[in-house]
Amino acid sequence: MTRQRVLRFGILVWLALVWTLLWGTFSIANLVGGLAVGALIMWLLPLPRVPVEGRVHLWSMLKLIGMGIVYAAQSSAQVAWLALRPGPPPITGVLRCKLGIKSDLVLTLCIDLLNLIPGTMVLEVDQARRVVYVHVLDVGTTKAVDQFYRTTRRLERLFIEAFERDSDWQPAPWHLRDYEYHDQGREDPS
């Protein structure tokens, strides 16, 4: 129960910080107002429980953040070059990538990071099969496609190292429960 209280307190502090930043000036009144508004939001609009099924590894998470920054900068330069270079526009396409990430929370974080990298946008997620369909700005060469898959695989490994190591993995009791429920009424497509 202590972990739940710490999490709720962290959310309250975050909401108060956002409130203070929205007002643009730091004052005790803005901070107290932010705490009051945050508490009201948490009471009226409670968030659903999100299972935490692994452990956070700080060093791996720092490596993940660093690689995310590197990939974003690298992709920004590539997108700028594609926009400024002479010649026809790049060939775009949608690529499918299966991820080995087990947790819905970590899958969402990975998708968010993929969306932050310029030149890529996740269009669809098959949550049950862990497959993402990503629109990629440049798929005109085999080298460009291979670079996308290398980047995605590296991010996947970093997310697993940071949050889902097998030694720390403990699936929540309700993990994949919705899929089992929805699969009961389906007919076999074969």
Question: Are residues 7 and 90 part of one domain?
Answer: no
| Predicted local confidence at residue 46, as pLDDT | 86
Question: Are residues 89 and 23 part of one domain?
Answer: no
| Predicted local confidence at residue 112, as pLDDT | 92
Question: Are residues 137 and 110 part of one domain?
Answer: yes
Q: Which residues pair with 125 in a beta bridge?
A: 132
Confirm whether 179 is domain-assigned. Answer: no
Question: Are residues 156 and 81 part of one domain?
Answer: yes
| Predicted local confidence at residue 177, as pLDDT | 55
Question: Are residues 32 and 67 part of one domain?
Answer: no
| Predicted local confidence at residue 13, as pLDDT | 93
Residue 10's domain spans which residues?
2-44
In which residue ranges of the chain is pLDDT below 50? 181-190
Task: Write down the H helix ranges in the chain.
Answer: 2-23, 28-44, 58-84, 104-116, 142-163, 177-184
Residues 6+ away with beta carbon under 8 Å from 109: 159, 163
| Predicted local confidence at residue 51, as pLDDT | 67
Question: Are residues 115 and 69 part of one domain?
Answer: yes
Confirm whether 142 is domain-assigned. Answer: yes
Confirm whether 155 is domain-assigned. Answer: yes
Question: Are residues 63 and 30 part of one domain?
Answer: no
pTM: 0.70
Question: Are residues 139 and 83 part of one domain?
Answer: yes
| Predicted local confidence at residue 188, as pLDDT | 44
| Predicted local confidence at residue 176, as pLDDT | 54
- Residue 93: Cβ within 10 Å count: 15
Confirm whether 177 is domain-assigned. Answer: no
Question: Are residues 66 and 150 part of one domain?
Answer: yes
Half-sphere exposure of 85 (CA within 13 A, CB side): 10
Question: Are residues 144 and 83 part of one domain?
Answer: yes
Question: Are residues 140 and 97 part of one domain?
Answer: yes
Confirm whether 148 is domain-assigned. Answer: yes
Residues 6+ away with beta carbon under 8 Å from 45: none
Confirm whether 13 is domain-assigned. Answer: yes
Number of domains comprising the chain: 2
Question: Are residues 143 and 109 part of one domain?
Answer: yes
Confirm whether 174 is domain-assigned. Answer: no
